[in-house]
Amino acid sequence: MKRGVGVGVIGYGTIGAGVVRLLRQRVKAHGDRLGFPVRLARVADLDTSSDRGIKLPTGVLIDDARALIDDPSVNVVVELVGGVEPARTFILEALRAGKHVVTANKALLSEHGVALSREAEKRGLLLGFEASVGGGIPIVRTIKESLAGDTNEEVYGILNGTANYILSAMSEGEGEFEEVLARAQAMGLAEADPSYDVDGIDSVHKLVILVGLAFGKKIKARSVHVEGIRSVSSKEIAYAREFGYRVKLLAVARDTPAGVEARVHPSMVPESHLLAQVSGAYNAVCIKGRALGNSVYYGQGAGMMPTATAVLGDILEAARSLRDERPPSSEPWGQPLARLSSARVIPMGDTAHEHYLRLTVVDKPGALARISSILADEGIGIATLSQHEIETRGAVPVVLRTYRSAESAMKRALARVGRLRDNRAKPVLLRVEEGLGGRE
Residues of the shown chain interacting with a second copy in the complex, contacts defined by CB under 8 A: 18, 22, 26, 29-30, 32-35, 130, 136-138, 141-142, 145-151, 272, 274, 277, 289, 291-300, 303, 305-306, 308-313, 315-317, 320, 324, 326-330, 334-336, 339
- Beta strands 100-103; 76-79: pairing state: parallel
- Identity of the residue, 179 or 271, whose beta carbon is nearer to a second copy in the bound complex: 271
Is the previous residue joined to 86 through a cis bond, with omega within 30 degrees of 0?
yes
Q: How far is the CB of 235 from a second copy (least distance, A)?
A: 25
The total of other beta-carbon atoms located within 10 Å of residue 349's CB is 13
Task: Based on the residue annotation, tell me whether 411 is a catalytic residue of this protein.
Answer: no
Is the dihedral angle over the CA atoms 300, 304, 309, 315 positive or is it negative?
A: positive
Number of helical H runs and strand E runs in the chain: 14, 19
What's the half-sphere exposure (Cβ side, CA atoms, 13 Å) at 148?
12
* Closest separation in Å from C-beta 326 to a second copy: 4
Number of neighbouring beta carbons within 10 Å of residue 149:
9
CB of 293 to a second copy, least distance (A): 5
**Are the CB atoms for 429 and 414 separated by under 8 Å?**
yes
In the complex, the smallest distance separating the C-beta of residue 60 from a second copy, rounded to whole angstroms, is: 20
**Sheet of 76-79: strands edge to edge?**
61-62, 38-44, 5-10, 76-79, 100-103, 127-128
The whole-angstrom separation of Cα 28 and Cα 50 is 27
The vertex-71 CA angle with 69 and 72, nearest 5°, equals 120
CA-wise closest residue to 203 among 118, 119, 110:
110
Residue among 55 and 290 whose Cβ is closer to a second copy: 290
CB of residue 213 to a second copy, shortest distance in Å: 12
- Catalytic: which of 99, 106, 144, 206? 206
Catalytic positions, written as ranges: 206
